[in-house]
């Protein structure tokens, strides 16, 4: 699952990127609003963590651009301005949540999980497709009540497919979800991860179907 962190404090941005990568997210960084605007135009993100005090294009202006462009990506604002007026302005401009600095990483992760669930119209933290389940709070997968052992990238592919269960997911969309801009990407990598996942899903009543020329579909069988 791919996140965009927009923060001009390089030390904080690097710490966030490292921590969220360890939590098995793919993370891209932007240190000003102009760079973030470009990244949002060329990549799909599960969520954006957005500082308001940014050079070139400030965070509030960037947020308004995101919403005017019709992008529904969940946005969590990070800011040192914890005033009521500041929170109201951010939420009224299209933010999904608001977190004041300083903050605890665990709270940011919980808020990320919540806005991503809401972005996919999921009320419960547990997602099920057949006898495959994902606990979005722990990001743990189980098949027939047995925990699945997955690599971080296998987890990213399966998580993306589960969040889109019943809908076709293009290979490009999966590539966006799994790889950041700095990653060396083999065009056939997604096929390898899907093949591995199919092996690990054997014995369950769920499959990853290939829709030739369209992409992949996770469904119960």
Print burial letters for 56-83: b (CB count within 10 Å at least 16), e (below 16).
ebebbebbebbeeeeeebbbbbbbeeee
Output the pLDDT for position 123.
Answer: 63
Gap between the Cα atoms of 159 and 134, Å rounded: 8
Q: Which domain does 15 fall in, by range? A: 2-119
pLDDT in tens, 110-148: 999 889 888 777 667 788 999 999 988 788 999 999 999
Q: How many structural domains are present in the chain? A: 2
Q: Are residues 16 and 60 both part of a single domain? A: yes
Q: What are phi and psi of 12, to 5 degrees?
A: -65, -45
Q: Are residues 74 and 164 both part of a single domain? A: no
Residue 88: give its domain's CATH number.
3.40.50.2300
The candidate with the shortest Cα–Cα distance to 160, out of 120, 124, 125, 104, is 120
Which of 119, 148, 180 is where one domain is finished?
A: 119
pLDDT in tens, 3-37: 999 999 999 999 999 999 988 888 999 999 999 99
* Inter-residue contact 209 to 219 (CB < 8 Å): yes
Which of 119, 135, 150 is where one domain is finished?
A: 119
Q: Are residues 42 and 130 both part of a single domain? A: no
The pTM assigned to this predicted structure is: 0.78
């Amino acid at each position: 699952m791919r996140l965009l962190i927009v923060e001009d404090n390089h030390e904080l941005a690097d710490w966030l990127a490292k921590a969220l990568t360890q939590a098995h997210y793919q993370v891209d960084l932007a240190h000003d609003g102009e760079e973030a605007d470009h990244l949002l135009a060329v990549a799909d993100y599960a969520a954006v963590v957005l500082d308001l005090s940014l050079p070139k294009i400030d965070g509030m202006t960037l947020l308004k651009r995101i919403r005017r462009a019709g992008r529904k990506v969940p946005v969590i604002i990070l800011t040192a301005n914890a005033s009521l007026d500041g929170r109201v302005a951010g939420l009224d401009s299209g933010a999904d949540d608001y977190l004041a600095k300083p903050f605890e990483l665990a709270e940011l992760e919980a808020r990320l999980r919540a806005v991503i669930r809401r972005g996919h119209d999921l009320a419960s933290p547990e997602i099920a497709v057949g006898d495959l389940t994902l606990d979005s709070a722990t990001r743990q997968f189980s098949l027939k009540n047995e925990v699945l052992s997955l690599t971080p990238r296998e987890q990213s592919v399966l998580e993306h497919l589960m969040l889109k269960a019943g809908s076709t997911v293009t290979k490009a969309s999966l590539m966006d979800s799994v790889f950041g801009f700095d990653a060396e990407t083999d065009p056939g990598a997604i096929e390898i991860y899907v093949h591995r996942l199919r092996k690990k899903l054997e014995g369950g009543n769920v499959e990853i179907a290939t829709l030739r020329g369209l992409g992949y579909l996770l469904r119960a069988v």
